Chain A
Amino acid sequence: GEDVEQSLFLSVREGDSSVINCTYTDSSSTYLYWYKQEPGAGLQLLTYIFSNMDMKQDQRLTVLLNKKDKHLSLRIADTQTGDSAIYFCAEIYPGANNLFFGTGTRLTVIP
């Protein structure tokens, strides 16, 4: 869990789709999470996916999981200026309750 990797920056135009990618480390991870952090705030849980799923959709959010490649992605449809924030992916191991976080991707939405 110490090398959960994410790209540092992503810029998109308002109304376009955003795709944030994450490569995690442990194939035994049970749940994978996406959190959003706005300036001066804590982490907001956006969505999560169980490791036996390939995809999960929740309104504008779509999570894709490729266990073979240990790759997780978060797609935000119709991206709005209010989506500008830092997005963290995180993994958790079986029987444990400590999250291992990626470095975070700063999403900037251009009006």
Chain B
Amino acid sequence: KAGVTQTPRYLIKTRGQQVTLSCSPISGHRSVSWYQQTPGQGLQFLFEYFSETQRNKGNFPGRFSGRQFSNSRSEMNVSTLELGDSALYLCASSLEVEQPQHFGDGTRLSIL
């Protein structure tokens, strides 16, 4: 069974631009969560989607948004990029709530 797939692996953008990251969960998993990892703040929860609905959102500004499609694939979007958005963005999928979450290798976003 294929794991969680995130694309692209690396991305370089400039301030003010916007970016879309993609995540394909493990087949059969309906919950997709996104996390941001930075050296200063560690791993922080962004949001979680289940059956195309956002169920939970972390403490991030409205520039961070996401969605989930009917095939459970998910995208997250960051608009008006800031230098502080440079991070590793990780996607995780699980079968249901409170079930173990399996992570992809992440997208490393660098803002110049």
Q: Does A97 contact B (CB under 8 A)?
A: yes
Query: Which residue from chain B places its CB closest to the CB of A35 in the assembled complex?
Result: B103
Q: Can you list, as one digit per residue, whether each of A85-111 has a CB less than 8 Å from chain B (1) or not (0)?
A: 000101010111111111110000000
Interface SS of B by simple majority: strand
How many residues on A have C-beta within 8 angstroms of the other chain's C-beta atoms? 25
Q: Does B90 contact A (CB under 8 A)?
A: yes
* Contact call A100/B45, Cβ cutoff below 8 A: yes
Question: Which residues on B are within 8 Å of A, measured CB to CB?
Answer: 4, 6, 31, 33, 35, 42-43, 45, 48, 50, 55-56, 58, 90, 92, 94, 97-98, 100-106
Query: Which residue from chain A places its CB closest to the CB of B88 in the assembled complex?
Result: A42
Residue among A43, A90, A94 with max Cβ neighbours from chain B (10 Å): A43
Question: 9 more A-B contacts (CB under 8 A) besides A95-B97, A98-B56?
Answer: A30-B98, A31-B98, A33-B100, A88-B43, A90-B43, A95-B98, A97-B94, A97-B98, A99-B45
- A104 surroundings in chain B (CB, below 8 A): 42
* Contact call B103/A42, Cβ cutoff below 8 A: yes
Tell me how far the C-beta of A4 lies from the nearest C-beta in chain B, rounded to whole angstroms. Answer: 9
Q: Which of A30, A45, A100 contacts B103 (CB 8 A)?
A: A45
Query: Which residue from chain A places its CB closest to the CB of B56 in the assembled complex?
Result: A98
- B48 surroundings in chain A (CB, below 8 A): 97-98
- B4 surroundings in chain A (CB, below 8 A): 42
Taken together as a complex, chains A and B put the C-alpha atoms of A88 and B91 apart, in Å, by 16
- A31 surroundings in chain B (CB, below 8 A): 98, 100
Taken together as a complex, chains A and B put the C-alpha atoms of A41 and B92 apart, in Å, by 13
Which parts of A5-28 form the interface with B (CB within 8 Å)?
none
* Contact call A97/B56, Cβ cutoff below 8 A: yes
- B45 surroundings in chain A (CB, below 8 A): 98-100
Query: Which residue from chain B places its CB closest to the CB of A44 in the assembled complex?
Result: B103
* Contact call A99/B105, Cβ cutoff below 8 A: no
The 10 listed contacts between A and B (C-beta, < 8 Å) are A42-B106, A43-B90, A44-B103, A45-B101, A88-B43, A97-B94, A97-B97, A97-B98, A99-B33, A99-B92
